[in-house]
Amino acid sequence: MTTCSAPGKVYLFGEHAVVYGEPAVPCAIERRARVTAEPREDGRVRVEAPDLSLDGFTVTWDDSADERPDLDVPTPLVEAGMGYVNEAVAQARDAADAPEVGFDITVESTIPLGAGLGSSAAVTVAGIDAGTRSLGVELSTEEIADRAYRAEYEVQDGQASRADTFCSAMGGAVRVEGEDRRTIDAPPLPFVIGYDGGAGDTGELVAGVRALREEYGFAADTIGAIGDVVRRGTEVLRGSEPNGGADEELLAELGRLMDFDHGLLAALGVSSRSLDAMVWAARDADAYGAKLTGAGGGGCIVALDDTEATETALDYTPGCETAFRAELATEGVRVEGA
């Protein structure tokens, strides 16, 4: 039996545009998904995913014997819920050259689902590492990231960037631009997260942006403008002292860029009333900047504030279910125990 964990992430900037080859800077945060894998001789896959509740049901499923979770919810919803774990299992089987092997899998996570904090990437990355290690195969972190990307690409119908999975596998702050992916130095940034308790469907939101981009030249320009924001942000980070604290001027400039990015994402139709309300609450509380994180539609915003003001303001914002601080996770995927 092997347990591995991998962190979630926030986007400092660049989500959505990264799908079309623009750069993005996600940062891993100390909220992790833990996946335990135990090989089974009989080829069956049994999954316990207590955090995965669909319309109030907790899901346990078995991928063989034509069994699907016996739930009174539409099949596509169930399939969507199972997709990432199933693809992680497929990647682990492939990597270990054990196409027939079965697994008992348990998933536990402190990353809210579908909220823009990269729960899918964390579960996929940790699942591939746990699955292969339980078969005595140790993949490099790069290969785990690559296989997790392929898994997300499958589940999201060919619409995924390498950003989330690379960030979750490597930890820290990363910059991803098409095939080019690297870890970058970043000072400790005072992230505050607001969560509206809701979720957005990543595949659907990405498809919506794609349709806008195909229909309107100015939507394509908006995506290019997000890329410009990220290029500017990368320069700002490059000039920072990685081990020193983040100074006021640096935070102010990053915050302005986050604000700009949120405006561009809103223009692309991926914000929502509650995300906007939380962004404005953070700005009114004098956060350096605030934006939605991830696919949008509902879920989380991320703000930069080194005081208590934003967290307190979010606590009193209608539409915000909970607010919390998030530390940069310097460690990516790791073994939790054998």
Ligand X SMILES: Nc1ncnc2c1ncn2[C@@H]1O[C@H](COP(=O)(O)OP(=O)(O)O)[C@@H](O)[C@H]1O
Minimum CB distance to ligand X, residue 235 (Å): 28
Contact between 52 and 31 under an 8 Å Cβ cutoff? The reply is no
The correct pick among 120, 132, 161, 222 for binding ligand X (CB under 6 A) is: 120
Told to check if 164 binds ligand PMV by CB under 6 A, we report: yes
Residue 163 near which of Mg ion, ligand PMV, ligand X, none (CB within 5-8 Å, type-dependent): ligand PMV
Q: Kindly tell me which of 124 and 240 has the beta carbon lying closer to Mg ion.
A: 124
Q: Kindly tell me which of 19 and 89 has the beta carbon lying closer to ligand PMV.
A: 19
Q: Kindly tell me which of 84 and 103 has the beta carbon lying closer to ligand PMV.
A: 84
Q: How far apart are CA 195 and CA 203, in angstroms?
A: 20
The binding track of 22-51 with respect to ligand X, each residue x by CB under 6 A or -, is -----------x---------------x-x
Residue 123 near which of Mg ion, ligand X, ligand PMV, none (CB within 5-8 Å, type-dependent): ligand X
Q: How far apart are CA 213 and CA 102, in angstroms?
A: 42
The correct pick among 6, 29, 78, 85 for binding ligand X (CB under 6 A) is: 85
Three-state SS at 328: strand
Q: How far apart are CA 138 and CA 121, in angstroms?
A: 19
Minimum CB distance to ligand X, residue 117 (Å): 6
Three-state SS at 22: coil
How many secondary structure helices (H) and strands (E) does the chain include? 9, 12
Q: How far apart are CA 130 and CA 152, in angstroms?
A: 17
- CA 175 from centroid of its chain's CA atoms: 14
Residue 131 near which of Mg ion, ligand PMV, ligand X, none (CB within 5-8 Å, type-dependent): none
User: Of residues 164, 259, 261, 305, which has the active-site annotation?
Assistant: 164
Q: How far apart are CA 209 and CA 187, in angstroms?
A: 32
Contacts of 337 (CB under 8 A, 6+ apart): 2, 3
Three-state SS at 209: helix
The correct pick among 120, 124, 271, 293 for binding Mg ion (CB under 5 A) is: 120
**Alpha-carbon dihedral sign for residues 81, 82, 84, 85:** positive
Minimum CB distance to ligand PMV, residue 134 (Å): 26
Contact between 167 and 26 under an 8 Å Cβ cutoff? The reply is yes
Sole window of 30-38, 48-56, 84-92, 160-168 interacting with ligand PMV (rule: CB under 6 A): 160-168
Told to check if 114 binds ligand X by CB under 6 A, we report: yes
Q: How far apart are CA 114 and CA 156, in angstroms?
A: 13
- CA 100 from centroid of its chain's CA atoms: 30
User: Phi first, then psi: what are they for 23, rounded to 5°?
Assistant: -75, 160
Footprint on residues 283-312 left by ligand PMV (CB under 6 A) = 294-295
The correct pick among 116, 172, 227, 319 for binding ligand X (CB under 6 A) is: 116
Footprint on residues 229-288 left by ligand X (CB under 6 A) = none
Q: Is 118 annotated as a binding residue?
A: yes
Told to check if 168 binds ligand X by CB under 6 A, we report: no
HSE on the CB side for 264, CA within 13 Å?
A: 26
Active site residue 201: no
Contacts of 218 (CB under 8 A, 6+ apart): none
The correct pick among 3, 109, 161, 310 for binding ligand X (CB under 6 A) is: 109
- CA 108 from centroid of its chain's CA atoms: 16
Looking at residue 280, the DSSP 8-state letter turns out to be H
Residues that bind ligand PMV (CB under 6 A): 15-16, 18-19, 116-118, 120, 160-161, 163-164, 202, 206, 294-295
Residues that bind ligand X (CB under 6 A): 33, 49, 51-52, 80-81, 83-85, 107, 109, 113-120, 123, 202, 294
Q: Which residues are annotated as a binding site for ATP?
A: 112-122
Active site residues: 164
Residues that bind Mg ion (CB under 5 A): 120, 202
Q: Which residues are annotated as a binding site?
A: 112-122
